[in-house]
Structure 1
């Protein structure tokens, strides 16, 4: 079976990866708490555009702002990205695809008049909230 694809991980690693949360992660919750504390209200885990499968972590629909809290591993943080050793090519393709999908999402939303804010999981919640709040204030003017 020379054309068969190897699974991306062994059984233990696969089980660990399956436990990774898609929404409601600690960095996302910290940002949500900080924005809420500042009196900002938003929708959680929502597609900014109707019919789009790609969901933003936070959405401010009236101002057309979508916030994504990206994990350093899954979205290839320039500071913290790592390259798995097992099945390296499969993971390289997977992670490169994630980044390409992120850029396509950004472009689609921008073309529809949305502002996209990307926050890395390692960013301080207060600093990230400052960025979000600044964009919202700019759009309210």
Structure 2
């Protein structure tokens, strides 16, 4: 079926979609209920991290197995393969660019695959909480030698 929009109109329309996955919402609610406070989908940060704690320079991305080309679960579409190969390759390259950006700026970065959350939600939340707490405790100023 032919598209009734031009390529530019379609790009603008698709770019305006700001959907969040149910899985991402479930994961972030569990993190919130564990006592962590953060912002979701912070547009002013590069790559629009799914979870950001700017005070501690922490960004967390939840990567879809399809859109980010999971080495375990990605299933290549049977039609329009050239398009999808380019699309997934560009997404992977963009992920690397974003990772390098944050690492060069001294941020702490965590990427979680969709399948990790699906197979072990509680474990994914626990590992993420541990990751964040290690950074928060490391960044906390020492009070050794302080008189009370």
Q: TM-score, normalised by structure 2?
A: 0.74
Q: Which residue of 1 aligns with 2:9?
A: none
Relative CO higher for 1 or 2, CA cutoff 8 Å, sep ≥ 6? 1
Instruction: Select which of 67, 74, 79 maps to 1:74.
Output: 67
Structure whose alpha-carbon radius of gyration is higher: 2
Does residue 46 of the first structure (1) align with residue 42 of the second (2)? yes
SS of aligned partner of 1:81: coil
In structure 2, do the counterparts of structure 1 residues 121 and 22 end up closer, same or farther at CA, with 3 Å as the change threshold?
farther
CA displacement at 1:48 relative to structure 2: 6.3
Counterparts of 2:108 and 2:19, CA distance in 1? 21
For structure 1, the 5+ residue unaligned runs are 1-8, 12-17
Instruction: Select which of 76, 84, 97 maps to 1:83.
Output: 76
CA displacement at 1:61 relative to structure 2: 0.7
Higher helix share: 2
Does residue 63 of the first structure (1) align with residue 56 of the second (2)? yes
In structure 2, do the counterparts of structure 1 residues 47 and 112 end up closer, same or farther at CA, with 3 Å as the change threshold?
farther
Counterparts of 2:132 and 2:35, CA distance in 1? 12
| Moved beyond 4 Å, runs of 4+ | none
Q: Which residue of 2 aligns with 1:5?
A: none
Question: Aligned Cα RMSD in Å?
Answer: 2.0
For structure 2, the 5+ residue unaligned runs are 4-13, 138-148
Q: Which residue of 2 aligns with 1:34?
A: 30
Q: After TM superposition, list the pairs within 5 Å mapping 1:5-24 onto structure 2.
A: 23-24=19-20
